[in-house]
Every structure is written in structure tokens, then in C-alpha cells.
Amino acid sequence: MWSTFIVQDEEVRTVNASPGVHQPSGGLEGFLGSRSGHKRRHRTHSSSGDGISESQEGKIKLTLFMAVIGIMLTVLGMGTEFWVELKPSKSFYNNQTCLVAHYGLWKCCTKMIWVSDMDPKQEICGPLHLQGESNCTFFKFYTTGENIVLFQKTPEKDLTVVSAMFAIISLFLMLMGSICIIMAISKGVQFFLKPAAVCFILSGVLIFLCLIVFHQSVLSFLTSDQSIPLHHELSWSVTCVGCAGALVIVAGALFLILVLPYSPWEKCLPKKKSDI
């Protein structure tokens, strides 16, 4: 009986080893081949259903990269204090030094600049990159409620707090949208793209509301006292935040377009059928 089994087994191996018959090199290769085939079948099924196809996944990752750049610019703008620069006239102080200031959502800085380092034809103090003695302090109205005085003027506390709240909520919505996109890619479903798009669009709108409210707070600060005329200008932190808002709104709109069951380009620009 055992000799018969051994002979049959050798015949089977001889037949399988004949030319023209594909033979897997090992169990691991066969397992990987079955996994890749299963993944390929899953992608094919997802492209026709609620899943994410391979082409959509690449577009989603590229759009997510754009949104991540917006998040990084938002963090950079929120963490720096170069939202607005305040510069009095050079002739207001003595002939040796003059004082400039700049502040953001959380911190205010003043800097004493030597007049000899400035351009003689310049009428206002600055620019800020000149060497001088600087002093920075955080706003106390977030903790103790005390306000600060700059050039005998007081910043509008309520408007500054509201603009900071808008910035924090917008950053939170950006992080929630990024989590939804990561879940959509990992799970391979389009369901999470819609809430992610809403989060990014709302965060961009809140960022622009933050900039508008902050600008109103600056105007209110300048009109609080007219004894010291000031020249003001929005600085590079506002530029970072504004670019971040535009990026996340565009990213949210692109995520909405990817969720659509049809291509907008084919819908708006249908292909002309050529006569054969």
C-alpha cells in the first residue's frame, strides 16, 4: 500500500513539473499572490461602489498634502506675534531712539530702535529688523483680565479674544478634517470625505472671520486715543493665516468634487461624438 502511494505521488510531481505548467515557488509566494489578487479584486469592486479607487486615492493624498500645508501655515501664524506693526513718527521721541511695537493674538512686543540706524529720509520709526532692545509680554486679559497700554492706547480686549477663539476653532476643524481623510484612506470608503470637506471649508471661513475681527480690533485700538499718531500695517503672520485659509477652502472644495458620482469636467464639457 505504501509503495503504491509513493509511486502515485511521484507521478503527480512529474506531471506538475512538466513544461508549460506554472508552479508556485513556495507557500509564501502563493500566499502573497492570493493577497494581491484579493486586494486587486477589492479595488475593482470599490471603484464601482462607495469605495475609493486607486486613482481617487492619489488625488485624495495630494489634496490632503495641500490641506496639511494650510494647517502648518495656520500654526505658524497663530504662534507668532507679527500680526500688526505699530510705528510712531520719528520726531515724536528724542533724537537718539524711537519705540516701535508689534503684537498678535497672544503676545505683544516693543522695541527701542536707534535713530542713527534708520534712513535719514524716513519719517516713521522702523523697520523692525533693526537692532534694538526688545521686550515681549503675553496678554494678561486671558488670565487676570488686565489690559495693556501701548502708546497711551489700549487694545480692544473683546475683539482680540473673539479673533483668537475663531483661530482656535478653525485649527480644531482642520485637525478633525485631516483625521476624517486618514480614516477614509485607511478604510477605503468615501463616506469620510464629506465631513472632512465640510470641516476644511468651515475652518477656512473662520480664519477669514478671524482676520476681519482682528483688523477691527486694530482700528478700535488706534481710535482709542489720538494723542500719539501711529502708522500701522498688517505683517507676515496675517499673510500666513490668509494663505492657510485659502488653501483649506480649496482643499475642502476638491474633496467635495471627489465625492461626486460623476466628473464635473465631463459634465460641463461633454465629449463630442465623432462620426465614423
Question: pLDDT (tens digit, 9 = 90+) per residue, 110-143?
Answer: 888 888 888 777 778 878 888 878 888 888 878 7
Q: Which single residue is written with the C-alpha cell 486613482?
A: 55
Give the confidence band of 272 by pLDDT, cuts at 50, 70, 90: low
Question: pLDDT (tens digit, 9 = 90+) per residue, 188-205?
Answer: 888 888 999 999 999 999
> Which grid cell is 224?
482709542
Q: How many CA atoms lie within 13 A of 24 on its CB side?
A: 9
Helix (H, G, I), strand (E, B) or coil at 18: coil
Q: What percent of the chain has pLDDT over 70?
A: 75
pLDDT at 122: 79
Would you mind telling me the total number of residues written for the chain in this entry?
276
- Looking at per-residue confidence, does 264 or 237 come out higher? 237
pLDDT at 269: 53
pLDDT at 144: 77
C-alpha closest to that of 130 among 112, 142, 147, 148: 112
Reported pTM = 0.74
Which ranges constitute the DSSP H helices of 49-153?
54-79
C-alpha closest to that of 115 among 134, 94, 146, 85: 94
Q: Which helix (H) or strand (E) holds 156?
A: none
- Asked whether the predicted pLDDT for residue 243 surpasses 70, the reply is yes
- Cα of first residue to Cα of last residue in the chain, in angstroms, is 71
Calculate the average pLDDT of the chain: 78
The strands making up 107-114's β-sheet, listed across from edge to edge, are 132-138, 107-114, 97-103, 84-88, 230-234
CATH of 54-261, one of 1.10.1040.10, 1.20.140.150, 1.10.600.10, 1.10.1530.10: 1.20.140.150
- DSSP assignment of 172-213, as one string? HHHHHHHHHHHHHHHHTBSTTHHHHHHHHHHHHHHHHHHHHH
- Looking at per-residue confidence, does 41 or 52 come out higher? 52
Enumerate the domain spans of the chain.
Answer: 54-261
Give CA–CA dist 172/196, Å, rounded. 12
Q: What is the CA radius of gyration of the chain?
A: 32
Helices 193-222 and 236-259, axial angle in degrees (round to 10) = 160
- DSSP assignment of 115-133, as one string? GGGS-TT--B---TTS-EE
